[in-house]
């Protein structure tokens, strides 16, 4: 952006106008989103990752004589649950399960989505038709019902839940990748690569995919929040890993019976999920805004 009020050139655009300009607020917003997202995400992810080395009681260590102690009780920052287990420890260890499922699921769904979407966009024809119809069919199915059905059929293990969420999320990545590849394949460098005699698969893998992987990976990051929420929803509905594995959904599900007397059993794990999801979404939004091509008059 050029300086609006330059010396010697009269202008009606004041510094205040500039500060209120859409482009400025967008840039400021992107920076805020990036920082706020990073802080929120780190606030949850770091303690979860370090749960094993933090001086906390075991996630499943019970003390029936110290049930439902409120937050900030002696030795229990988040209080204790209905079996006298340290709630903070359960939330952090539960987060390891939820985050591991989420990260693995988005990695798998990202790989499937990028592979299928780029093939559909680049080759077109019957490949495009098959992939497109398949993802449309899957998008038409009610997601949670489908997940519950698959978990009921194959049993609620971490592997099954990861695969189920991964398979549930690939259409979004595939759709975006397909549209990005449709744009890329018309660019001159693709034609040049063909003229040089590269095979289609080589052009796609070596030249096109590297150019679309960045925006596609941002969508994958946004899907992480959705994957964590899905895992929590499944656990909440009783389709999570078997007890005594702590997962966020199960901690909330177990705690809701005590909502009127022990608010922290539901509120604190819920808050942790909310902070993570908001953080990841802000981070993804901020990154997207930063990588978005500058506007025409930018420069």
Partner 1 sequence: MTRTPHLVPPPRPPSRRTLLRWGAFGGAGVALGPLSACAGPTGAPGPGTLTLGLNRSLVSLDNKLNQFEAAVTVQRAVRQALTRIGPGLRPQLVLADRFEMTEPTTWTVRLREGVCYSDGSPVTVDDVATALRMYGKVPGSFLLGLFPELPAVEATGERTFFLRTRRPVPGLDRLMSNIHITPAKANRPEELRSGLGSGPYRVVRANSGAGEYTLARNTRYWGGRPSVDTVRVRFVPEESSRVVALRSGELDVVDTLTPDSAEQLTGLPGVTVQEISGARMCQLFYNFRKPEGHPLADARVRQALTYAIDGTALVRDVLTGTAEEARGVVPLALQGAVPTGTYAFDPGRARRLLRSLGAEDLRIKVIWESGEFAGDTSVMEAVLDMLQDVGVRASLQQFEPGGDILKWRQGRGGDWDVIGNGYSSPTGQALTMLQGMYGGTAEKDRTGDAFMGYVIPRIERRLSAAATEVDDSERERRLAAVQHAVWDTWPSLWAFAPKTLLARRDRVRGLALQPINSYDLTAVRLEG
Q: Which residues contact 139 (CB under 8 A, 6 or more apart)?
A: 171
2 sits near partner 1 (criterion: CB under 8 A): no
3 sits near partner 1 (criterion: CB under 8 A): no
242 sits near partner 1 (criterion: CB under 8 A): yes
Q: Minimal distance in Å, beta carbon 296 to partner 1?
A: 21
Encoded one letter per residue, x for contact with partner 1 by CB under 8 A and - for no contact, window 50-69 reads ----------xxx-xx-x--
Residue closer to partner 1 (CB basis): 67 or 194 = 67
C-alpha dihedral (133, 138, 141, 144), degrees to nearest 10 = -170
Q: Which range in 5-13, 70-78, 166-174, 284-292 contacts partner 1 by CB under 8 A? A: 5-13
Residue from 2, 8, 186, 197 touching partner 1 (CB under 8 A): that is 8
Residue closer to partner 1 (CB basis): 11 or 295 = 11
Q: Minimal distance in Å, beta carbon 75 to partner 1?
A: 18
Distance in angstroms (rounded) separating the CA atoms of residues 269 and 92: 9
Residue from 38, 43, 83, 278 touching partner 1 (CB under 8 A): that is 83
254 sits near partner 1 (criterion: CB under 8 A): yes
∠ CA 106-110-113 to the nearest 5 degrees?
135
Q: Which range in 10-18, 36-44, 160-168, 279-287 contacts partner 1 by CB under 8 A? A: 10-18
257 sits near partner 1 (criterion: CB under 8 A): yes
Distance in angstroms (rounded) separating the CA atoms of residues 37 and 278: 7
15 sits near partner 1 (criterion: CB under 8 A): no
Residue from 15, 145, 153, 261 touching partner 1 (CB under 8 A): that is 261
Residue from 28, 187, 206, 243 touching partner 1 (CB under 8 A): that is 243
Residue closer to partner 1 (CB basis): 11 or 202 = 11
Residue 194 vs residues 136, 199, 293: alpha-carbon distances, Å: 31, 7, 27
By the criterion CB under 8 A, which residues form the site for partner 1?
7-8, 10-12, 14, 60-62, 64-65, 67, 82-84, 152, 238-239, 242-244, 254, 256-261
């Amino acid at each position: 952006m050029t300086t609006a009020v330059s010396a010697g050139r009269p202008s009606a655009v004041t510094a205040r106008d500039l500060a209120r300009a859409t482009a400025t607020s967008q840039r400021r917003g992107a920076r805020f989103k990036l920082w706020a997202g990073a802080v929120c995400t780190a606030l949850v992810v770091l303690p979860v990752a370090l749960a094993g080395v933090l001086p906390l009681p075991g996630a499943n260590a019970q003390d029936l004589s110290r049930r439902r102690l409120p937050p900030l009780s002696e030795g229990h920052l988040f209080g204790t649950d209905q079996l006298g287990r340290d709630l903070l420890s359960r939330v952090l260890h539960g987060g390891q399960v939820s985050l591991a499922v989420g990260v693995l699921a988005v990695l798998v769904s990202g790989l499937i989505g990028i592979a299928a979407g780029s093939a559909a966009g680049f080759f077109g024809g019957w490949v495009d038709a098959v992939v497109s119809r398949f993802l449309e069919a899957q998008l038409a199915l009610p997601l949670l019902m489908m997940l519950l059905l698959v978990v009921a059929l194959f049993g609620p293990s971490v592997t099954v839940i990861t695969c189920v969420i991964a398979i549930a999320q690939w259409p979004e990545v595939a759709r975006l990748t397909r549209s990005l590849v449709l744009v890329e394949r018309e660019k001159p460098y693709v034609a040049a690569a063909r003229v040089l005699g590269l095979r289609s698969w080589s052009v796609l893998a070596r030249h096109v995919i590297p150019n679309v992987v960045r925006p596609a990976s941002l969508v994958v990051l946004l899907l992480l929040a959705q994957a964590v929420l899905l895992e929590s929803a499944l656990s909440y509905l009783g389709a999570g890993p078997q007890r005594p594995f702590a997962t966020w959904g199960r901690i909330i599900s177990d705690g809701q019976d005590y909502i009127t007397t022990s608010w922290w059993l539901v509120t604190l794990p819920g808050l942790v999920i909310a902070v993570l999801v908001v953080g990841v979404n802000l981070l993804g939004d901020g990154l997207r805004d930063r990588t978005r091509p500058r506007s025409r008059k930018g420069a």
